[in-house]
Amino acid sequence: MTNEAMLSLEHIGLRIGGARILHDVSLEVPPGEMLGVIGPNGAGKTTLFNVISGVIRPTGGRVAIDGADVTRVPIHRRAATGLGRTFQTSSLFPGLSARENVRLAAQAHLGGATSVFRIPRASDDASRRALDCLAEVGLEHRADAGAAELAHGEKRKLEIAMLIATDPKVILLDEPMAGVSSGDVPALTEVIRGLHRGGRTVLMVEHHMEVVLGLVDRVAVMHHGELLAVDTPEAVMANPTVQSAYLGEAV
Amino acid sequence: MSTVVLLVITGLGLGALYFLVASGLSLIYGLMGVLNLAHGSFLTISAFLGWEVGRRVSDGTWLGLAVSALVGIAVGAIVAALTEYLLIRRLYERHIEQALVTVGLSLASVALFEGIWGTDPIYTEKPDWLGQTTVILGAKIPNDRFLLIACALLVLGGIVLFLRRTRYGLIIRAGVENRSMVTALGIDVRRSFTLVFAIGGAAAGLGGVLSSVYYGYVSAHLGSTLLIFAFIVTVIGGLGSLTGAAIASVLVAVLQQFANFYLGGTGDLVVVIALAAVLLVRPRGLLGKVA
Predicted pLDDT of residue A184: 85
Q: How much is the average pLDDT of A126-145? A: 89
* Residue B276 domain flag: yes
Across all residues in chain A, what is the average pLDDT?
85
Report, as an integer, the average pLDDT of A191-195.
Answer: 86
Give the H or E element holding residue A12: strand A7-16
| B160 within a domain of the structure (yes/no) | yes
Residue B57 in any domain: the answer is yes
Q: For position A123, what pLDDT does the model report?
A: 55
Q: Which residues of A154-173 are buried (b: 16+ CB within 10 A; e: fewer)?
A: bbbbbbbbbbbbbbbbbbbb
Task: For residue A108, give the nearest of B178, B186, B195 by CB distance.
Answer: B186
Contact criterion met (CB < 8 Å) for A162 and B178: no
**Close Cβ partners of B265 (under 8 Å, ≥ 6 residues apart):** none
Q: Which domain holds residue B169?
A: 2-281
Residue at B289 is within a domain? no
Closest Cβ opposite residue A166 in set B168, B173, B186: B186
Q: Is pLDDT above 70 for A115? A: no
Domain assignment of residue B287, yes or no: no
Higher pLDDT, A242 or B125: B125
pLDDT reported for residue A110: 79
Query: Residues of A with CB below 8 A from B168's CB?
Result: 114, 116
Greater pLDDT, B92 or A17: A17
Question: Is the CB of A96 less than 8 angstroms away from the CB of B184?
Answer: no
Interface membership of B258 toward A (CB under 8 Å)? no
Residue of higher predicted confidence among A27 and A208:
A27
Preferred mutation among A83, A116, A121 to probe B, highest tally of B CBs within 10 A = A116
Label residues B158-179 b or e (16+ Cβ within 10 Å = b): ebeebbeebbbbbbbbbbbbbb
Q: Determine the pLDDT at residue A250.
A: 44
Give the residue from chain A lying closest to B166, CA to CA.
A119
Cα torsion for A128, A129, A135, A139, to the nearest 10°?
-90
The answer to whether residue B288 is domain-embedded is no
Q: What is the mean pLDDT of chain B?
A: 91
Q: Does A104 touch chain B (CB under 8 A)?
A: yes
% of chain A with per-residue pLDDT over 70: 90
Residues of B in contact with A91 (CB under 8 A): 178, 181, 184
- Quote the minimal CA–CA distance from B170 to chain A in Å: 7
* ipTM over cut 0.95: no
List chain B residues with CB under 8 Å of A93.
Answer: 173-174, 177-178, 181
Q: What are the b/e assignments for B2-41, b being 16+ CB within 10 Å?
A: eeebbbbbbbbbbbbbbbbbbbbbbbbbbbbebbbbbbbb
A30 to chain B, minimum CA–CA distance in Å? Answer: 24
Strands in A19-29's sheet, in edge-to-edge order, are A19-29, A7-16, A60-65, A68-69
In angstroms, the separation between the Cα of residue B62 and the nearest Cα of chain A is: 29
**Number of domains forming the structure of chain B:** 1
Task: Report if residue B260 sits inside a domain.
Answer: yes
pLDDT tens-digit profile of A13-31?
999 888 889 999 999 999 9
Percent of chain B with pLDDT over 70: 99
What mean pLDDT is predicted for residues B178-197?
83
DSSP code of residue B290 = P
Is the backbone of residue A32 left (phi > 0), alpha (psi -120 to 50) or beta?
A: left
Specify the amino acid at residue B117: W
On whether residue B290 sits in a domain, the answer given is no
Dihedral of the CA atoms B72, B90, B183, A53 (nearest 10)?
A: 170
Using a cut of 0.90, tell me whether the model's pTM lies above it. Answer: no
CA distance B19 to B26: 10
